[in-house]
Structure 1
Amino acid sequence: MTTRTIRLGVQVQPQHADYATIRAAVQELEQLGVDILFNWDHFFPLTGEPDGLHFEAWTELASWAELTSRVEFGTLVNCNSYRNADLQADMARTIDHISAGATGTGRFIFGTGSGWFERDYDEYGFEFGTAGQRLDALAEALPRIEQRWAKLNPAPTRTIPVLIGGGGEKKTLRIVAQHADIWHSFAAPDVLERKLAILAEHGAAVGRDVSEIEISNELRGRAEADADALLAHGVTLFTLGITGPDYDFSEVKRWLAWRDAQNG
């Protein structure tokens, strides 16, 4: 059994709601006691009306840095394709500082991935390419991001945690083994067991102890028995997506109670 504290992250999906509603949801969720707040990095809704209300991720996160004082926060996940790697690093460092407040330590988590939603690419003028090309670009970007963090003045307030999303066994998990502090997937418990074994192989190949990596998974549509099984396989960060226009906190409260029971 892991010695990590069980954490709950809530993804406040920035769709179908005005920003006043999103702002109120963020503040309410921090008050309820969630550990991490996430959004997503898309330009259009993923469910419901395709051209419904929607907001951009990074500018929203700068707002959250000021709106909150305790929770960690980030994107689940940033799309590497949309921004130059060094710019991403600088944006992350800046939000890290904005969120530091009186403690002097930032709360930003750099969640990232290779991208997948083709409409975002087509309508905003980015080259979609292939999944392999997008993963190769992510693998090239992460060392640049880490190098830029080391050069920036002022430096980040802490070593910014890197969360990588995705379950590809050949490329994604190797990138996770090399760079991630947190690995996020939607894998079911039996699939997760196999993927963790592959992650360990990649870790051995790159000289990384993958037990350092926190394992994250999604709760939406799952029961407590599913969460228990994921926990038994090493998941300690559980995420729950909620969507506008009316953010429903009932499932959040249910999973907060489960988290608290696990943590004793």
Structure 2
Amino acid sequence: MSELLQAPDATVSDATVSDADLLARTAAAVREAGAALRERFGEVVPYRTREELMSALAANDDTALSILRPRLTRLRPEAGWVEDELDGGALPSGEWWVVDPAEGNVNHLHALPEWAVTATLVRDNQPVLTVVHLPLTDQTYTALTGAGAHLDGRPLHVSQTADLGLGVVATSQARPDEDEGVVRRVGASITAMLFDALVVRVSVPATLHLLNVAAGRLDAFWQFAGARADLLPGALLVTEAGGRISDAEGRPWTPQSAGFLAAAPGVHAQAVSTLSR
């Protein structure tokens, strides 16, 4: 976790496979990593200091990465590797693997079920394919640019809700130790949504909320700040499921944006209005 970006190891390339084949092979690797994390899940992991917490988080990351890194590097040896799942902003040109080996890691440590393993291939700062695997339910969400979003092969579609007042929406804490301005903006946005939406859900991690937007279970998700690994998988899933992605003010979203909004088309403009107050 100390290195931000690392160049891939030299190995035999599978660079000639199609993106569809690459997605299938990526999904196999992510499921294998998820199975390894599932073996570690069950009891609350105690910690008394920040150092003990970070050590426990790193142990989960290392378990999944020991499978993901060699498997994905063999698939795309020329691709770079984003080592820190909390990093944000634009990437250099070319292909990069953006991986969260234990999305919702703190939930895993607390024996809570909301966690996943994700891997996204980014090409020239655009997500090309993504896999999100939920090991406890053995569900795999996938998306490929231009080919739709799927849950275990079944197409996903965002909701048809057209009234935010009838909508179920969600937000998430981007990271621990967020700066005061972001924290206050998050609090104000939750208050605004409590007035305008039917139900507001607040929990981590972001990716699981975005899966629910893509599947039509939630009508909108927003977050201020955030990391690439939090948002890129869900952004591609929601887009391919027919949803709209923007920043919180309705402008085009990029990994450098200060805010993020994913919504069903029927409530997107209303959500922008609420978040812009």
- Asked if these proteins are the same fold (TM beyond 0.5), I'd say no
Name the TM-score, length of structure 1 as normaliser. 0.27
- Structure with bigger helix share is 1
